[in-house]
Amino acid sequence: MYRRRKFDFFEEKLGGKKCKIPEEIAGKVDCASSGRGKLVIGCDDSTVSLLDRGLDFNFGFQAHTSSVLFLQMFKKMNKYGCSN
């Protein structure tokens, strides 16, 4: 028998209010992945940004010379992979 579980990723309840993407993320968001309390965003300006559960910017870096189109978290390692 399978049990369905619901986990809340975000700690803050916004109550229907529109949340904003942090100002440090300047490019258009192309892809995203999440896990282990982090939200990873890949943008068209070739940057990857890490946010925490409160949608606060942790850090970002330039991953490629062109846009980031795919992100994936590796389940057994606490690492992310990206491709352009």
38: left (phi > 0), else alpha (psi -120 to 50), else beta? beta
Nearest to 72 by CA among 15, 27, 33: 33
pLDDT at 38: 83
Neighbours of 60 (CB within 10 A): 19
pLDDT at 14: 57
pTM across the whole model: 0.68
Extents of the domains making up the chain? 29-83
pLDDT at 23: 86
The top-scoring range by mean pLDDT among 7-16, 53-62, 73-82 is 53-62
